[in-house]
A and B are shown apart, each in its own frame.
Chain A
Amino acid sequence: MGDNGMHIFIPFIGLAANSLAQVAVFRFFPRIGLLRSVFFGFACGFIASLLVTPGAMSASNFAIYVLLGYCYFHFVNMGETARRIRILTELADAGNGLSLGEILGRYNSKDIIDRRLTRLINSGQIRCENGRCYTGNVTVLAMAGFLAAAKRIIFGEMR
């Protein structure tokens, strides 16, 4: 692509390749897991961006691609973990609306905790033995600390 302003489309081509690769690999090889499929898609998108870039990729295009990849990761993650999205899809499934009791019959705190415990155990963040849970890998704990600090900056206090 020549540099007549068209170069700005390169990260978006990368994003398209990223999402296509992520969807394809997760759909046909679900055992890879969602997070690994996102990383795989990101790498494919980056390679696609390099292939359509004449010469070296500009720093701004690289930054745009990384940010687009981050937004795509959030979109995928929302479908997987966001409670609001799950409640929305339950309401969409029901068609004629649901009472609070009916929502809780389909999706409740026990489901939420059990799903997360499974994910955290599978990723090694915690381990559970004889009904007790212990800290494992500290990545998510570090993330919790970072978010707590961000909350203090934005809201002024712990909410």
Chain B
Amino acid sequence: MNAISHALLTFFVAMLVHLAIWRIRLPKKNRAIVLLNVFFWTLVLGVILLEGISSYTDYIVLYCCLAAAYIVSYPAMEADSPSLEIVRNIAKAGASGLEKGELYSTMTDEKLVVARVEDLLNDGLARLDSGKYMLTPKGRFLAGVFVWFRGLLNAPKGG
């Protein structure tokens, strides 16, 4: 087996562990951290069991890239993407189409914004202080990275 098959096998094991944890008891908070732990400890196990294989570095780097690709994709599975929801609702309406107003009435502030603000609190990126949402140092760092990158692209605020 080469680095690719070893990395895929380890990734598959990590996915099984991830699925088992999520199915048995879905973590309430910091799911990204739990996910990182699952991938990290599976790698540690893989590194111990597969010690001495050729292209060891390729195996570790490839596995880390597979894990990173999954972790960055995970939020899209957890939170409903508004674009996908719009497309799904329009498709459900069939050939007669969907009135735009129906989108505004079903996709509310509560669902699209307030739920994401709650996520920021749960992930420790923001805190609620006397009725005001403030950034934590972690949140300020993350916001800074994106403000810097959007500035580099000369692009306006996203969202």
Contact = CB atoms under 8 A, between A and B. Distances in A.
Interface of A: 5, 8, 11, 23, 26-27, 30, 34, 58-61, 63-64, 67-68, 70-71, 74-76, 78-92, 96-100, 103-104, 107-113, 115-117, 119-120, 125-126, 128-129, 131-135, 140-141, 143-144, 147, 150-151, 153-156
B109 A98 contact: no
A67 B120 contact: no
Contact of A112 (B72, B155, B159): B159
B146 interface: yes
B37 to A, nearest CB: 17
Contact residue range for chain B? 35 or more
A74 B73 contact: yes
Contacts, number: 224
B126 A88 contact: yes
B22 interface: yes
Contact of B155 (A58, A80, A85, A103): A80
Interface string B1-34: 0111001000000000011001100100000000
Contact of A83 (B68, B73, B159): B159
A118 B82 CA distance: 13
Interface of B: 2-4, 7, 18-19, 22-23, 26, 55, 57-58, 61-62, 65-66, 68-69, 72-73, 75-77, 81-84, 86-88, 90-91, 95-101, 103-104, 107-109, 111-114, 116-117, 119-120, 125-126, 129, 131-135, 139-140, 142-144, 146-147, 149-150, 152-155, 157-159
A80 to B, nearest CB: 4
Contacts of B126: 87-88, 91
A147 B82 CA distance: 13
Nearest to B129: A97
Given A97-B132, A107-B159, A110-B104, 10 more contacts: A23-B152, A67-B69, A79-B158, A84-B116, A87-B126, A89-B157, A133-B100, A134-B90, A135-B91, A155-B23
A125 B148 CA distance: 31
Determine chain A's interface SS by DSSP, over half rule: helix
B86 A64 contact: no
